[in-house]
Amino acid sequence: MPAKDLGTKHVCYKCQTKFYDMKKPDPLCPKCGADQRESPALKPQPEGRRGRLAAAPKVIEPIEPEEPAAAGEDEEEELETFEDEEAAAEPEEEDI
């Protein structure tokens, strides 16, 4: 049964020594002198780790397809050039 007049029991985070703080305001390890209030277990985790889990998923916007009317105009231009080439080629064939 623990003695209540010895204070709070601690385990040093540096050297793993078990000790009582003797009701002193500063819980210092008697073996290595480490202040137990500076323990890494008592410090909150950095925001980087918590922030990643709570971040909303990134929304990817759909790509809009090109208008088919613009493609139709290109085809008409190609047909016109093809007809012009045929017309230029026909007189040569007639000469033969």
| Residues 8-56: tens digit of each pLDDT | 999 999 999 999 999 998 999 999 999 988 888 877 766 655 555 556 7
At 78 the pLDDT is 65
| Residues 57-88: tens digit of each pLDDT | 788 888 888 766 554 555 566 666 666 666 66
For 64, the token pair is: 């809009």
At 3 the pLDDT is 62
The string of DSSP codes covering 41-75 is TTSPPPHHHHHHHHPPPPPPPPPPPPPHHHHHHHH
What distance lies between CA 45 and its chain's CA centroid?
17
